[in-house]
Amino acid sequence: MKKVEVECEQCGGQVQVPKDVIAGEIVGCKDCGSEYEVVIGAQGTIELKSAEQVGEDWGE
């Protein structure tokens, strides 16, 4: 399976995205650990946006 590489916004490293990725899937940068949500553009281009971090809710 081939992968597409997209530049990490945080560290400039390469985030590897599988060719068969689905919109909304989460991928991570192996260099800094940043997580991104995959967005598929109109022409089928793969874009990444920062994944939202969900904080712990301790029942408060």
pLDDT tens per residue across span 41-50: 888 888 899 9
Q: Please say if the pLDDT value at position 53 is more than 70.
A: no
| pTM for the full predicted model | 0.75
The most distant pair of C-alpha atoms in the chain lies apart, rounded to whole Å, by: 45
Q: Are 27 and 14 in contact (CB under 8 A)?
A: no
Q: Which of 29, 50, 30, 49 minimizes the C-alpha distance to 39? A: 49
pLDDT number for residue 8: 93
Question: Six-digit token pair at 57?
Answer: 């809710």
Q: Please say if the pLDDT value at position 52 is more than 70.
A: yes
What domains lie within the chain, and their CATH numbers? 3-50 (2.20.28.160)
